[in-house]
Amino acid sequence: MTRFPKNFLWGGATAANQCEGAYNVDGRGLANVDVVPVGEERLAIITGQRKMVDFEEGYFYPAKDSIDMYHHYKEDIALFAEMGFKTYRLSIAWTRIFPKGDEVEPNEKGLEFYEKLFKECHKYGIEPLVTITHFDCPMHLIEEYGGWRNRKMLVFYERLCRTLFARYKGLVRYWLTFNEINMILHAPFMGAGLYFEEGENQEQVKYQAAHHELVASAIATKIAHEIDPENKVGCMLAAGQYYPNTSHPRDYWAALQEDRENYFFIDVQARGTYPNYAKKKWERLGIDVKMTDEDLDLLRAYTVDFISFSYYSSRVASGDPEVQEKTEGNIFASLKNPYLESSEWGWQIDPLGLRITLNAIWDRYQKPMFIVENGLGAIDKPDETGHVADDYRIDYLRKHIAAMKDAILEDGVELLGYTTWGCIDLVSAGTGEMKKRYGFIYVDRDNEGRGSLKRFKKKSFDWYKQVIASNGEDLD
């Protein structure tokens, strides 16, 4: 093979709470992602250390309105189609379908919204790629049941999945069960609707919640296949290989340990069993994850069809406690790599790291992969016509696409597609800012929520269009 596969799925990705807005429209209920404000307390809230269960005075909640894609989706999908998207990754807002989460009957208005959206995609030959939960949990399930720490979540999630798979049969074929499932460990309120009581064993709670999500993911895979054998279900990891800080064996060992913390989730979802290293770790930490034989059977029988992941950067680990210099990253910080440049938010830029990560995942699982997030968060400065000359973004994406191409053509990894993150500017998950932009399409809205919401094509819009039209041949 000398070229990208013919049916390679080029596209872009968004998440409901970061773009839809309309948080209380057509019967939608309140979700965890609605009540995370911009500002200093955000991190404490998304990590479950500071409890915020509703809107509080004096805070700004950007997800309430976001870029209002709820009312602009036709215009936005038309722009994606103009770029030639083959796929569009989006997520379902659980609370549009089940506003509280534990109802028996779904909210028809919510179902209609996504049905119209999927049909709009198909109008242009765009294949939807749907994340069932992207940092998204009904607040009622959190307050009433404690979020994913509670086994009852399996019932509610299964009901959500059945409803989606039945209603969208023939409209959606590619599904992801949980966005960046490893984020439970780093952002447990966003990842699993968890906040902690004083003195409780947080690791115990997080791994118990992880077990519930893993079983829920297996159940979803089972019923997706039962309802439509055409369905393909994937897991989703916040990826980025760890490098040892030096060639000292203890640094290599530290990197291996860090990688395992992330791959743990995919080891279960792709191989179907809990790895021994995890069981040993739980033993050492006194963690007792409650699981039934039936759970283990489900995990074994219903592994995922493909492995998707986000990649923004590689990471660095050291076994030397003296080595401390850190850099920001996707939710959790890593040691700084002196060989790499950083974005304005301190995320280090490493295109070769994408090739390395693709190879590491392929070597570990030999399942088809899908890069469902990659991109550069940057401050864009539009001119008076609204145009942004975002050569820095083009440069970032060009190098990452070239690295991905090497992984496919030179190394032989199997890759289904590539969706850049935030193909249209949206609210940042980590910071809640609007000024951290990833898109090919500029949206006139600022950090305080002001702006016309008008959409403008950036320079990268035409560039990506040409990349797709040439099936990844023309990257200049």
Q: Which residues are catalytic?
A: 373
Q: Which of these ranges, 116-124, 276-284, 404-412, 423-431, lies near ligand BG6 under the rule CB under 6 A?
A: 423-431
Contact 27, 99 (CB under 8 A): yes
The interaxial angle of helices 202-227 and 293-301, nearest 10 deg, is 50
Alpha-carbon distance of 272 to 323, in angstroms, equals 36
Alpha-carbon distance of 79 to 436, in angstroms, equals 21
Site string for ligand BG6, 251-290 (x = CB under 6 A): ----------------------------------------
We find the least distance from the C-beta atom of residue 255 to ligand BG6, in angstroms, to be 21
- Taking CB atoms, the residue at the shortest distance from ligand BG6 is 430
We find the least distance from the C-beta atom of residue 90 to ligand BG6, in angstroms, to be 12
Alpha-carbon distance of 343 to 268, in angstroms, equals 33
Residue 56 CA to its chain's centroid (Å): 27
We find the least distance from the C-beta atom of residue 60 to ligand BG6, in angstroms, to be 16
Q: Is 237 in the site for ligand BG6 (CB under 6 A)?
A: no
Q: Which of these ranges, 23-31, 56-64, 428-436, 459-467, lies near ligand BG6 under the rule CB under 6 A?
A: 428-436
Site string for ligand BG6, 297-336 (x = CB under 6 A): -------------x-------------------x------
Q: Which of these ranges, 51-59, 251-259, 272-280, 421-429, lies near ligand BG6 under the rule CB under 6 A?
A: 421-429
Q: How many chain residues bind ligand BG6 (CB under 6 A)? A: 15
We find the least distance from the C-beta atom of residue 196 to ligand BG6, in angstroms, to be 21
| Beta-carbon count within 10 A of 176 CB | 27
Q: What letter does residue 372 receive in the DSSP assignment?
A: E
Q: Is 436 in the site for ligand BG6 (CB under 6 A)?
A: yes
We find the least distance from the C-beta atom of residue 187 to ligand BG6, in angstroms, to be 8
N-terminal to C-terminal alpha carbon distance within the chain: 22
127, 305, 373, 425: residue in contact with ligand BG6 (rule CB under 6 A): 373
Q: Is 430 in the site for ligand BG6 (CB under 6 A)?
A: yes
Specify whether the backbone of 322 is left (phi greater than 0), alpha (psi in -120 to 50) or beta.
alpha
Q: Which of these ranges, 68-76, 222-230, 319-327, 424-432, lies near ligand BG6 under the rule CB under 6 A?
A: 424-432
Name every residue whose Cβ is closer than 8 Å to that of residue 50 and which is 6 or more positions away in sequence: 41, 44, 195
Q: Is 179 in the site for ligand BG6 (CB under 6 A)?
A: yes
Q: Is 180 in the site for ligand BG6 (CB under 6 A)?
A: yes
Q: Is 20 in the site for ligand BG6 (CB under 6 A)?
A: no
Alpha-carbon distance of 105 to 85, in angstroms, equals 34
- Report phi then psi at 215, rounded to 5: -70, -40
Question: Smaller CB distance to ligand BG6: residue 173 or 435?
Answer: 435
Side chain identity, residue 342: S
Contact 261, 351 (CB under 8 A): no
Q: Is 34 in the site for ligand BG6 (CB under 6 A)?
A: no
* Cα dist from 312 to 167, 265, 267, 331, 403, whole Å: 34, 19, 21, 11, 13
We find the least distance from the C-beta atom of residue 387 to ligand BG6, in angstroms, to be 23
Q: Is 354 in the site for ligand BG6 (CB under 6 A)?
A: no
Side chain identity, residue 67: I
Give which of 456, 454, 428, 432 is closest to 442, Cα–Cα: 456
Binding residues for ligand BG6, per CB under 6 A?
Answer: 15, 18, 179-180, 238, 310, 330, 373, 377, 421, 428-431, 436
